[in-house]
Structure 1
Amino acid sequence: MESPLVGYAFLVETLKLKVFPIQRPAVIRPVTRIEPLGRELAVPQRLAPPPGDCCAHVLFALKHEGVNLGVLAQALPQIPAATMLAELRKAPSGAYIRKACFLWEAFSGTRLPHDVSPKGAATLLFDPDRYITGPARRDTRWRVDFNGLGTLHYCATVERTPEIEALLALDILGKSREFIGSLPAGMMDRALSWAYLHETHDSFAIEREAPSADKAERFVQLLRQAHERQPLTEDYLVALQNSTISNPFDRAVAFRHEQNHLNNGLRGAAGVTYVPPPPELCRDLMDELMLFANEAPLQIDPLVASGIISFGFVFLHPFMDGNGRLSRFLIHQALCRSGAMSHGLLLPVSVAMKREEQRYLEALQSFSRPAREFWRVLWLDANDLSFEFTGNEGIYRYWDATACVAFTLEMARQALEVELHEETEFLHAYDQVFKVVNARFDVRGSDLAQLVMMCLSNNGIVSRNRRKQFQYSVPEEVFDFIEERARQVLAEQATKNVDPNESTFLSKS
């Protein structure tokens, strides 16, 4: 019985390719035209490529399913050169056969015996209406413009989903600069100081770690140094890793030379949740990622670039420890590299990520789960495991970053609209209450600051415990007056549809 699969799904099944599952496989169905149908791309029998003709399925996929470099990198070298040339003779200037020939030569490392230059307009490899694309680099032989996010040695793809398009339309970075620029100088400094501190604490908290004061200060300084726009190099990343690690035995001197993995706490192979690429491949791909990180923020939307860089880094896992928080630091590094972060501006994305940990995990698992299927892990003894990669290195070279970029954009939106806005509202409320109370009563400044902060964080109530705590330094009528003023300010803010009690700052005070 013939397979009903078409295009990429057909190639994967027929050629036994080691790739991630096709998200929307093309399948022959009783329909009159090619159309999405549920989680499939329904294809009428009359429009399906001939069974067994892999080249025809490649052309079908390029035309109707987009560009899947992971599949093409493994499939095209298995198609004979004579077959490619026969198809080329049918349509010497056809856009899709030119794309296929361009990629065939790139992935096979062999030149097709064809020296007649195609005529007509050059064609883009990735459709800009379907994908977020990079600057075009022309291959004059086939008149194909490679416009991927990376190179043919390492390339991410990001589809223009409705969610991503809507988030890009918000101009999050522009609104962030406008918002910070609209604040009085003193307020801006305080809001940014809060952002740096809580970005640090929540980046560590995601990994279930509470940093010491010294470690927290070092990380804050790293965030501030990102504004120096230093390009990524191995030495620079090693220095960053060393700055975030307390145990001197865990500090790296170079990218890793041994296999590492992530573990969920269970014993043996069952506890291994993700295995990054082998060391040699990791080092090769880190060179590609650093090249992308140093160029892309200046060429494409910086938030898109930062998402690819951050998640790409953590998927490669170039160090034995410290990869997670460094990956989140790279979001800021990319935004600063682009020049989008002026006046020390910082979007506290880790604060938003901490609040959205489940969504963060889902974004990570969009890659880590299918990648885990290509590793055979054996438990030898105690903590000793053996790792055998059964996949193809293309799964690490060519990856779909759509979910990761969508998550990064959403966290940037929340960092602006929730974290920074609400913290600023809190600071406004704090200033109003503190000023009035301080003018009327003679209370030690540090005590008053704590009481006002606690009252605002508790819906305008000074709790019994706080009254008891400060009973010998603060008169009783001060507690009542603080409550009165706090409730008044909170009510005024509520009329503006602002609820400061949802603030991340308050929840951690």
Structure 2
Amino acid sequence: MVRLSPDLIATLASDLAEEARAIVRRTAPDLMARAAAFLLLKDSKASYIIEGERPPQDRIQRWGQALGEAGQTALNEEVLLRLQRLVIGRDTRFLHLGWRTQGGFVGTRDRETNAPLPDHVSAKPNDLAALIQGLLAFAERSEVGGLDPIVSAACLAFGFVFVHPFEDGNGRVHRWLLHHVLARRGFNPVGVNFPVSAVFLERIDAYRATLEHFSRPRLLLTQWETTPELNVHVLNDTRDLFGFFDATNEAEFLSACVLETVRNTLPREVEYLRDYDMAKRRIQAFLEMPEPQFDLMLGFLRQNGGCFSKRAREKEFTALTNEEVSAIEGIYADLLLRHG
């Protein structure tokens, strides 16, 4: 159930999808392709950071590719299981892949006993088959029935993460599902994936509050005990707590994040690339430099507030004259300094 508040109705009525398509139409195709590629990589990295992980670049790129392919095929169990394998990577020695066969929780542990201190207790393993089938049925029916894409995405993705069907990988698959629904329903322009994880990371406290809004009251309704393996074992029937919930809070949070993406994140990245290209043309008018060296130079300037550091002047860019350094710093200040 979703109770659409006046604020949410106003947000959805503003037709954010058309706003995004308008941005794409007025942007050069090569510029938009570069912006989309960067935002996709940014979103992949953010999805791992939210989980407290900083994986190697190849795993970030593989997950970015998976995000880019979201929405291309209908959702089913095999898609979800494949995504978990992709998220976890090659080393699965200490993890059970696939649907959980034991209890699950999100939280901390007692320092002395290592006993679970849950903030969220996941659905019971015996209920997973029915709950997953319910989510898949909702995905199909909401698509056929034309339910608003943002509402549909919120119900499906948050419903999935609340069930927490995997031992690990739930959060990233949950955020992939947001991409899946928005792309599947044609909400985002072709070739552009909204970086919802990046916006979630920027609003991490609000994101956690949205998750806790579901978990806290249900924790009070869940009877559990600690197992000999220091896991949780749920004693009462909790299936309906996960199968039926009011998703208004989740839909409002997601709509605010999509609004931020369409009206700020995407235009900001396009503007940065325009200014970057202009700075590059102005510098190349008096200085020839290989592309990797040019990118390295701008990276140094970005890290040092738009100025060459003493180390950069004495090592990587010792060949630059004082006049060239002054001109480059001036161009950077004119065009790129405001981007941070």
Deviations 1:224-272 (A, max 9, x none): 22142x1111112111111111222467664222221112344455621
Deviations 1:194-253 (A, max 9, x none): 01110100000000111212211221221122142x111111211111111122246766
How far apart, in 2, do the equivalents of 1:370 and 1:358 lie? Answer: 18
Within the candidate set 193, 202, 219, 2:63 is matched to: 219
What amino acid is aligned across from residue 330 of structure 2 in structure 1? E
Match of 1:500 in 2: 339
How far apart, in 1, do the equivalents of 2:116 and 2:81 lie? Answer: 31
Contact residue 227 and residue 336 of structure 1 kept, 8 A:
yes
How far apart, in 2, do the equivalents of 1:191 and 1:429 lie? Answer: 13
Match of 2:254 in 1: 408
Matches within 5 A, 1:250-265: 254-265=98-109
Q: Could you say if the C-alpha distance between residues 341 and 312 of structure 1 is closer, same or farther in structure 2, counting changes exceeding 3 Å?
A: same
Contact residue 430 and residue 456 of structure 1 kept, 8 A:
no
Match of 1:337 in 2: 184
Is residue 369 from structure 1 mapped to residue 212 from structure 2 by the alignment?
no
Contact residue 260 and residue 275 of structure 1 kept, 8 A:
yes
Is residue 177 from structure 1 mapped to residue 21 from structure 2 by the alignment?
yes
Match of 1:69 in 2: none
Match of 1:235 in 2: 78
Match of 2:291 in 1: 445
Match of 1:485 in 2: 331
TM-score scaled by structure 2? 0.90
How far apart, in 1, do the equivalents of 2:63 and 2:76 lie? Answer: 19
Query: Which has a greater percent of helix?
Result: 2
Deviations 1:282-318 (A, max 9, x none): 2201101111112314511111111111100000111
- 1:408 is displaced (CA, Å) by 0.8
- 1:457 is displaced (CA, Å) by 6.4
Match of 1:39 in 2: none
What number of residue pairs does the alignment pair up? Answer: 336
Deviations 1:102-153 (A, max 9, x none): xxxxxxxxxxxxxxxxxxxxxxxxxxxxxxxxxxxxxxxxxxxxxxxxxxxx
Contact residue 106 and residue 121 of structure 2 kept, 8 A:
yes
Match of 1:165 in 2: 9
Contact residue 277 and residue 396 of structure 1 kept, 8 A:
yes
Q: Could you say if the C-alpha distance between residues 486 and 479 of structure 1 is closer, same or farther in structure 2, counting changes exceeding 3 Å?
A: same
Match of 1:24 in 2: none
Contact residue 490 and residue 500 of structure 1 kept, 8 A:
yes
Contact residue 198 and residue 348 of structure 1 kept, 8 A:
yes
How far apart, in 1, do the equivalents of 2:105 and 2:278 lie? Answer: 51
Match of 2:51 in 1: 207
How far apart, in 2, do the equivalents of 1:451 and 1:317 lie? Answer: 45
TM-score scaled by structure 1? 0.62
Within the candidate set 198, 216, 222, 1:351 is matched to: 198
Q: Any stretches of 5+ residues in structure 1 without a counterpart?
A: 1-156, 492-498, 502-509
Q: Could you say if the C-alpha distance between residues 318 and 392 of structure 1 is closer, same or farther in structure 2, counting changes exceeding 3 Å?
A: closer
Per the alignment, in what secondary structure is the counterpart of residue 484 of structure 1? Answer: helix
How far apart, in 2, do the equivalents of 1:392 and 1:243 lie? Answer: 30
Match of 2:152 in 1: 305
How far apart, in 2, do the equivalents of 1:468 and 1:344 lie? Answer: 43
Within the candidate set 270, 280, 301, 1:424 is matched to: 270
Match of 2:92 in 1: 248
Per the alignment, in what secondary structure is the counterpart of residue 335 of structure 1? Answer: helix
- 1:346 is displaced (CA, Å) by 0.5
How far apart, in 2, do the equivalents of 1:266 and 1:183 lie? Answer: 54
Q: 193-202 or 216-225, which moves further after superposition?
A: 216-225
- 1:456 is displaced (CA, Å) by 5.2
Q: Could you say if the C-alpha distance between residues 251 and 371 of structure 1 is closer, same or farther in structure 2, counting changes exceeding 3 Å?
A: same
Contact residue 173 and residue 340 of structure 1 kept, 8 A:
yes
How far apart, in 1, do the equivalents of 2:238 and 2:68 lie? Answer: 39
| Rg larger for | 1
- 1:374 is displaced (CA, Å) by 2.5
Q: 258-267 or 172-181, which moves further after superposition?
A: 258-267
How far apart, in 2, do the equivalents of 1:386 and 1:441 lie? Answer: 64
Match of 1:145 in 2: none
What amino acid is aligned across from residue 423 of structure 1 in structure 2? E
- 1:356 is displaced (CA, Å) by 0.7
Contact residue 423 and residue 500 of structure 1 kept, 8 A:
no
How far apart, in 2, do the equivalents of 1:197 and 1:434 lie? Answer: 23
Deviations 1:366-425 (A, max 9, x none): 1111111223343455x5234233355322221011111111111111122232121111
Q: Any stretches of 5+ residues in structure 2 without a counterpart?
A: none
Q: Could you say if the C-alpha distance between residues 164 and 443 of structure 1 is closer, same or farther in structure 2, counting changes exceeding 3 Å?
A: same
Deviations 1:72-111 (A, max 9, x none): xxxxxxxxxxxxxxxxxxxxxxxxxxxxxxxxxxxxxxxx
Contact residue 308 and residue 401 of structure 1 kept, 8 A:
yes
How far apart, in 2, do the equivalents of 1:236 and 1:302 lie? Answer: 20
In angstroms, what is the RMSD of aligned CA positions?
A: 2.3
